[in-house]
Chain A
Amino acid sequence: DTAVSQTPKYLVTQMGNDKSIKCEQNLGHDTMYWYKQDSKKFLKIMFSYNNKELIINETVPNRFSPKSPDKAHLNLHINSLELGDSAVYFCASSHSHYEQYFGPGTRLTVT
């Protein structure tokens, strides 16, 4: 009965590869988010979708492309991975602008 789930939990890949991270929530929320947590544990929002529409798009390289097939899913595709993309990526969801519930995170390591 996991509320916000992400797959995979760990992802190790080489520079230049393309990878995807998936996120699903079963809370019935209408808004979903992607955050990046760097090595110093600083959390920064990347994207937000409300009812499958992109509403927040921070200054993120074009190599990152979110996709929301429905309200319960928000996937993150990353092209041409770089060393600096290594981080923990957290998905979150909320009902409109209320408190956000976070997934377990995906630790991406680019070698």
Chain B
Amino acid sequence: AQSVSQHNHHVILSEAASLELGCNYSYGGTVNLFWYVQYPGQHLQLLLKYFSGDPLVKGIKGFEAEFIKSKFSFNLRKPSVQWSDTAEYFCAVRDQGGKLIFGQGTELSVKP
């Protein structure tokens, strides 16, 4: 079965630090990949997605992610985080049946 693994459970950074959150998935076929963000007490919002084409995708709020097929990875990056980026981040892959499989989430805390 398809699975998604996020390397870090909790990441703590100071403002202006660079961010990289790891995500690996298990399926070797064609995949659609997503990063969602959940701010405290709120619903999930789509940060960015990869369907095909350029493996470096840019999303909202300065986030980007790189799809590396050989490594089954889709890591999320941001060059300089802000306090307002404090949230839970979820990587997800859509399988061929249309199901969205989520990773366990990474809590990001940004210290002002």
Contact = CB atoms under 8 A, between A and B. Distances in A.
Given A90-B43, A99-B49, A104-B43, 6 more contacts: A44-B102, A56-B99, A97-B94, A97-B98, A100-B100, A102-B36
Contacts of B52: none
B100 A105 contact: no
Count class of interface residues, chain B: 20 to 34
B105 A101 contact: no
B12 interface: no
A26 to B, nearest CB: 15
Interface in A71-111: 90, 92, 97, 99-105
Contacts of B97: 56
Interface in A39-62: 40-45, 48, 55-56
Interface of A: 4, 31, 33, 40-45, 48, 55-56, 90, 92, 97, 99-105
Contacts, number: 46
A97 B104 CA distance: 22
B interface: dominant SS? strand
Interface of B: 32, 34, 36, 38, 42-46, 49, 88, 90, 94, 97-102, 104-105, 107
Contact of A42 (B44, B46, B94, B102): B102
Nearest to A40: B104
A4 B105 CA distance: 22
